[in-house]
Amino acid sequence: MKNASVKKIKSIQFRQLWFFIGLCAMLFIGWFAFPYALYERKPQPIQFSHKVHAETAGLTCDNCHALRDDGSFVGIPPLAKCAECHADMIGTSPHEKQLVEEYIKPKREIPWLAYSHQPQNVFFSHASHLKLANLPCAECHGAHAASDSLPNYERNRITGYSRDIAGRGLFGMKHGMTMDDCAHCHEQHHIENTCLKCHK
């Protein structure tokens, strides 16, 4: 009788152990393995230090990322903007050497991968946020001025959007640029959230 009780207890403990192992495996897959597999990663075609350009050269965001006369955003600077300073080498960085030799001298545009490309049905005015609301670029894009290198471009295999739109990492490490993020910011600044304000 006693042996039967001991066997039953061991059987229950064995099942509980396997349940715990299975639970841990599923949590690992759900939190880490699946999100990792969901995104394909590509390095940018060339490395770039925002920190060097901000601190050493004294440039601000709008020196390279400018607005057009109509208030729309130019986005990633064209090669001509880089060539204004880097027609020839001015430093010793291997990344600058790559820039000059592979792109500037042959006049070949750099195929940058855009982290913040919005869906086609979204209208976003940088001018109204920068000029009217006086928001700093870092409010939405993070502290790029302090970054010494560019992170890998991570593209969601299902939606095709960059991970920077939805936010990087778990546990609130970085907010993204989803509709909820925009709506939350509008609520904080007491601005109405009507559909046609952002959607066309």
Q: pTM of the full predicted structure?
A: 0.74
Reply yes or no on whether the pLDDT at 172 is more than 70.
no
Does residue 52 surpass a pLDDT of 60?
yes
3-state SS of 32-66?
HHHHHHHEEEECCCCCCCHHHHHHHCCCCHHHHCC
Domain boundaries, given as residue ranges, for the chain: 1-42, 114-200
Confidence of residue 51 (pLDDT cuts 50, 70, 90): very high
In the prediction, which pLDDT does 67 show?
82
- C-alpha distances out from residue 2 to 5, 6, 35, 70, Å: 5, 6, 49, 86
